[in-house]
Each structure stands twice: as structure tokens, then as C-alpha cells.
């Protein structure tokens, strides 16, 4: 069947505008913490199961690190993202990080002549003439909910402040939390990541190169007893098998959500040259979307007037004092958002029908490991576009029962009027799980009744808002440029949610179509992200946002911010006595 002429013209205009925007873009060449070191700038159900899909899509076609959908139970080790040293031409040389703001002109996400925002490049600062003995190495492992990642940083410490010379990065699936009670298996899963550190750091430097493992939402959700057992085994394994000194105390730990967000804020603003400089430069707000949680951190204009509470985070960095608003919303990462939306869909269908033929709860053992099981019931879900199906999806309800179902679109095909409203219906479900109507005990709240100073009134309109992690992984593959508005995301979401046959007509890049075909819940992800940013955080639809995977070849996220204090040997580690490993 053919799509109506009016609707087709509407979608064609959206697609054309997005393409022109892409062409234009391509044409453009305590909570009080003191960071030591630091830095002078320094819906009915169906019985028909004929629609199938290929499970487990990649997060980004340009990322060497492949992250599969954790809910599909597919685990695959990604490729190493290596970054070879690059010579820097004399006219482009500038200290990195930026030591003198006069030498650069900070233009949003691209520090002029000092760093380019890119997706997978290597950072190599200009040589300072120091010998190799002045280099220090930090090994930071991010144990996330959907996978573990290693960052091996190389710093030049003979200059003040230290310069970040290089970052080696690799990620693998699954995350530590997937090992449940297999603590040794969890520890051994980090071996491929530690190999990167062994291959990067000279042998004579390894005994004085600290390693830390910071777990995030995945282990938090696993429960304290199981999480503690895994972390204890990880510490023992690293201390006995590897030459790197393991940071004491919280060096192997579940990171507090507030620290996770603040370290991500430090990373972004440090790489942008906004902090650590002699001038008081406006800072960027950061929004980090992980698998299990999401973080927001920004510097309100009137921070001293902020209501006291766990959201208020004061930090001294580079001779400046910052009062930040931060909050980590546990259970509202992308994968947890999916689970909440799917659960809501099933709850609504059960309320509507009372019961669904063939729908049988999984046993406790099956619910823990649903791999290999096949769903017998297919349900309608407006977050699944016409022409694709999301098969064998575990759905856990509030009462603790888990079901395995297939999801398809309520629309018969792209010409069905239901297809035209799919993105609106899906966004309604996403907004519902945010509990925006929860009682707010202060003047301003985000969602779930959580206090947050208004971004519209307490954050400068001219300052950057930076979204990364899963935000980037979902937006970049479908042609969203590094600078965009939420309205543009809503427009492309309508295309994605309208149906698979339209993708070939409107998406010019073959890789974009392949991404969408491999991940049938992309419509749901975009709808959740839009609801989170617009309805949850109250960001205007016409507000410019920025995204990137890296700045100057260094990945965004909390890892660099958490690694900087470890350059000080008094930060919980001492050099390890030489030993054969």
C-alpha cells in the first residue's frame, strides 16, 4: 500500500531538511570535594509470529567498540579503539590542556586549534622536550551496566599543569553484573582490558601506574551482597595477577552517582578548556545517559542560593570554586527506560483485557537467564515501527513476575493512520514513566519529584549543553549532527517510528538503515531520550544541544575526571615492588 500524499510530502520535507543540515554541518572545517594536583589553567495482542528481526544492533556504525542490547542477552567483545600518535603542525600547536586562554578561542565543543571533537581519534600533545621518565600512566576501568571499558591515560607531568598525551580505550560485553554470583568469572572478564594496559605502559612504569575499577548502575541494581562479592574478587585478582598498584579504599568500588556525574562534568569542561584556565570561562552542562542511570550536572548562575541537599556539590578545581547541581537518576538509563516502557505496555494490555491467552510467567530460573527461550505471545507496542518486530523480550512487572513476549506495531503498515501517530504514542509512554506529576516539594523539579533548578532560568542561554554516551550512540548513526535541537530529534523520530519501508526512501546512508534494521527498539530509545530531555529536564525544543563521542580524541564520560586525582601518589596508592607477572 502507498503512503498518503500529504503525509509523504511531510516526511519528505523532514528528510530533505535533515540531509541539508547534514551537508551544512559537514562543510564546516562534601559533598565537597577537592581535586588535588591541580590545575593552574589548568494495543491488542496477536497470535501471528511471522515478523522476525535480527537481534542485537550496534550502538554506532563508526565506533569500533560494539555494544549489543543487554536485554537481548547477546554478549560480544568489541574491538580495541586504538589511537596512534599524530604529528602536530607548528601553526596548530597549542598547549593541551589549554594553559593560556589567549592562545585559543573556545568555540563551544571545539577548542580552537587545540582539539577537535571527533568520534575516534588519537590525542598526542605537542612534545614538551621531557624524557619518558616524566610520563605517568593511569588505568581506569569503567564497569558499566552493559559492559566494561578500560581507559589507559598517559600524562606529561614535567609541565604544570600536566598534559594529557594519550588515551587507549577498549570495551567489551557483558558487564560485571551479568556474572551474578560467579565472582571469579567477573574478575577474569577484565583480562582483555588489562592486556591493553600491559601493552601500553612500559614494563618499568607498570609498578607505579595505578589501576582503579569504578562500577556504576549495573552493580548498584544487582544488590549490595552480590556486588560486594564481585568487587572483592576483582581486587584480589588484580592485586595477585597484575603489576599495577590497585588504589586502596574506594579504588575498587561502586561509584556514587553524584561522583559519576561530577567527574563527567570535569572531563567535558577540562577537554573544552572551560576549567583549569586563568580566566573564568562559562562552563557547559552535561547530560550522561548510561544503561542503568542518567546524570545531569551544571553550574547554576546563582549556585549559592541553591537549596541544600545531596544535589549540591562544591568542588575546587584549578584555583576556582564551583557550586554545581548534580543528580543521578538511578533506573532511568536507556536500558532501564526500555524495561519501564515495555512493562507499562504490558500492564496496560492486562488492564484492558484482564488476561492474555498464552501469556505465562517465566520461572525464577528462566527469568534470570532467558537466553534461548522463545516467546509464544506477540503483543502490540506503539514504540515498534511497522515492518519490524522485537522478539523474545523479557518484561518484568511491578509484582515481580517476568514474561517473555514479542512486540510489533499496532499499525498494519506505513499507510495505516496509526503509523503516523506512533512517535507521539511512544513519547506519551516515555513521559508516563518519568512520573512528572509526582509531588514537588520545592519551587522547581525535574521528574519523580526531584528538585532541580530550572535550566531555563538558572543556566545561561549562551552556554553549551552537552549530551553524550547513549545520547550520542543513538543520534549519530541516523544523521543527527553534533549541534542540533530537540525539535530536530522529534522530526527524525517521526521518520524512525513511521515504518521500515520509509527508511529506504528518506535515509540516504545505507549504514543508517542497517542500524535501524538491527535494532527494532530505536523508535523507543529516541522517544525516551526526547521525553527525558524535554519533559524531564525541561529543555526547550529550540535549545541548541551538542553531542560527541570524543573531544580531541579523548572519550567523554567520567573516567578522565576520576583519573586526574590519581596523578598524586598520595591519593590512595603506592608503587608496587617489582615482581614477575
Active-site residue numbers?
260
Is beta strand 32-34 parallel, antiparallel or unpaired with respect to 211-215? unpaired
Pairwise CA distance, residues 160 & 272, whole Å: 18
Pairwise CA distance, residues 567 & 534, whole Å: 39
Q: Under a CB-based contact definition with an 8 Å cutoff, are residues 486 and 492 in contact?
A: no
Q: Write out the DSSP string of 434-479.
A: TTTTS--SSS-B-STT-B---HHHHS-TTS-EEEEEHHHHHHGGGT
Q: Write out the DSSP string of 202-239.
A: -GGGGGGS-EEEEE-HHHHHH-HHHHHHHHHHHHHHHH
Pairwise CA distance, residues 203 & 111, whole Å: 34
For helices 334-353 and 522-530, give the axis angle rounded to 10 degrees. Answer: 100
Using CA of residue 346, residue 347, residue 350, residue 355, what is the dihedral sign? positive
From the CB of residue 379, how many other CB atoms can be counted at a distance below 10 Å?
25
Alpha carbon 166 to its chain centroid, in Å, reads 21
Alpha carbon 476 to its chain centroid, in Å, reads 13
Of 176, 154, 174, 149, nearest to 164 by C-alpha is: 154
**355, three cell numbers:** 488476561
Q: Under a CB-based contact definition with an 8 Å cutoff, are residues 86 and 80 in contact?
A: no
> Which burial class, exposed, middle or buried, applies to 197 when counting CB atoms under 10 A from its CB (0-12, 13-18, 19+)?
buried
Pairwise CA distance, residues 428 & 422, whole Å: 10
- The H or E element spanning position 560 is helix 559-563
Residue with cell 506519551: 428
Q: Write out the DSSP string of 491-541.
A: HHHHHHHH-HHHHHHH---HHHHHHHHH-TTHHHHHHHHHIIIIIIS---T
Alpha carbon 333 to its chain centroid, in Å, reads 8
Pairwise CA distance, residues 433 & 426, whole Å: 11
**145, three cell numbers:** 551496566
Pairwise CA distance, residues 325 & 545, whole Å: 19
Residue with cell 549504514: 511
Tell me if residue 402 falls in helix, strand or coil. strand
Which residues fall within 8 angstroms of residue 223, CB to CB, at 6 or more apart?
none
Amino acid at each position: 500500500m502507498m503512503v498518503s500524499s500529504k503525509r509523504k510530502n511531510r516526511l519528505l520535507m523532514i528528510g530533505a531538511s535533515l540531509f541539508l543540515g547534514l551537508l551544512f554541518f559537514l562543510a564546516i572545517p562534601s559533598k565537597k570535594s577537592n581535586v588535588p594536583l591541580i590545575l593552574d589553567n589548568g494495543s491488542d495482542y496477536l497470535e501471528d509470529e511471522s515478523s522476525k528481526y535480527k537481534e542485537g544492533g550496534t550502538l554506532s556504525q563508526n565506533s569500533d567498540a560494539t555494544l549489543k542490547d543487554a536485554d537481548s542477552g547477546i554478549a560480544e567483545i568489541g574491538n580495541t579503539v586504538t589511537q596512534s600518535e599524530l604529528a602536530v603542525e607548528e601553526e596548530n600547536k597549542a598547549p593541551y590542556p589549554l594553559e593560556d586562554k589567549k592562545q585559543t578561542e573556545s568555540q563551544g565543543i571545539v577548542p580552537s586549534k587545540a582539539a577537535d571533537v571527533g568520534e575516534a581519534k588519537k590525542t598526542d600533545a605537542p612534545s614538551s622536550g621531557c624524557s619518558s621518565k616524566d610520563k605517568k600512566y593511569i588505568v581506569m576501568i569503567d564497569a558499566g551496566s552493559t559492559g566494561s571499558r578500560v581507559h589507559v591515560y598517559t600524562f606529561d607531568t614535567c609541565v604544570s599543569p600536566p598534559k594529557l598525551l594519550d588515551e587507549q580505550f577498549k570495551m567489551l560485553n557483558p558487564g560485571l553484573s551479568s556474572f551474578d554470583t560467579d565472582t571469579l568469572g567477573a574478575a577474569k572478564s577484565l583480562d582483555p582490558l588489562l592486556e591493553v594496559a600491559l601493552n601500553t605502559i612500559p614494563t618499568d612504569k607498570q609498578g607505579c601506574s595505578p589501576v582503579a575499577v569504578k562500577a556504576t548502575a549495573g552493580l548498584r541494581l544487582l544488590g549490595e551482597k552480590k556486588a560486594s562479592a564481585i568487587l572483592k574478587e576483582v581486587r584480589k585478582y588484580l592485586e595477585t595477577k597484575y603489576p599495577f598498584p590497585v588504589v586502596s579504599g574506594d579504588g575498587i568500588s561502586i561509584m556514587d552517582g553524584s561522583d559519576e556525574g561530577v567527574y563527567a562534568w570535569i572531563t567535558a569542561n577540562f577537554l573544552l578548556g572551560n576549567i583549569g584556565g586563568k580566566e573564568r570561562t562559562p562552563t557547559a552542562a552535561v547530560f550522561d545517559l548510561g544503561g542503568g542511570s542518567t546524570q545531569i550536572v551544571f553550574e547554576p548562575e546563582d549556585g549559592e542560593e541553591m537549596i541544600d541537599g545531596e544535589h549540591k556539590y562544591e568542588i575546587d578545581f584549578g584555583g576556582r570554586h564551583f557550586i554545581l547541581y548534580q543528580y543521578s537518576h538511578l533506573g532511568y538509563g536507556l536500558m532501564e527506560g526500555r524495561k519501564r516502557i515495555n512493562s507499562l505496555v504490558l500492564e496496560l494490555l492486562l488492564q484492558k483485557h484482564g488476561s492474555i491467552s498464552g501469556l505465562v510467567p517465566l520461572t525464577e530460573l528462566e527469568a534470570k537467564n532467558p537466553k534461548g527461550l522463545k516467546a509464544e505471545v506477540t503483543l502490540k507496542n506503539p514504540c515498534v515501527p511497522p515492518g519490524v518486530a522485537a522478539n523474545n523480550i523479557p518484561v518484568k512487572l511491578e509484582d515481580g513476575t517476568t514474561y517473555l513476549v514479542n512486540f510489533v506495531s499496532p499499525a498494519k503498515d506505513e499507510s495505516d493512520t496509526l503509523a503516523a501517530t506512533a512517535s507521539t504514542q511512544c513519547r506519551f509512554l516515555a513521559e508516563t514513566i518519568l512520573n512528572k506529576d509526582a509531588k514537588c516539594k520545592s519551587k522547581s523539579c525535574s521528574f519523580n519529584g526531584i528538585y532541580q533548578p530550572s535550566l531555563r532560568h538558572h543556566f545561561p542561554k549562551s552556554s553549551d549543553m552537552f549530551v553524550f554516551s547513549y545520547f550520542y550512540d543513538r543520534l549519530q548513526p541516523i544523521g543527527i549532527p553534533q549541534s542540533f535541537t530537540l525539535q530536530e530529534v522529534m522530526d527524525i523520530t517521526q521518520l524512525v517510528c513511521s515504518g521500515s519501508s520509509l527508511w529506504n526512501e528518506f535515509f540516504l546512508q545505507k549504514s543508517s538503515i542497517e542500524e535501524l534494521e538491527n535494532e527494532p527498539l530505536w523508535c523507543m530509545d529516541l522517544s525516551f531520550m526526547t521525553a527525558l530531555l524535554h519533559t524531564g529536564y525541561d529543555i526547550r525544543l529550540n535549545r541548541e544541544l551538542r553531542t560527541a563521542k570524543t573531544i580531541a580524541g579523548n572519550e567523554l564520560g567520567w573516567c578522565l575526571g576520576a583519573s586526574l586525582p590519581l596523578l598524586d601518589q598520595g591519593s590512595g596508592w603506592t608503587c608496587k615492588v617489582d615482581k614477575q607477572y
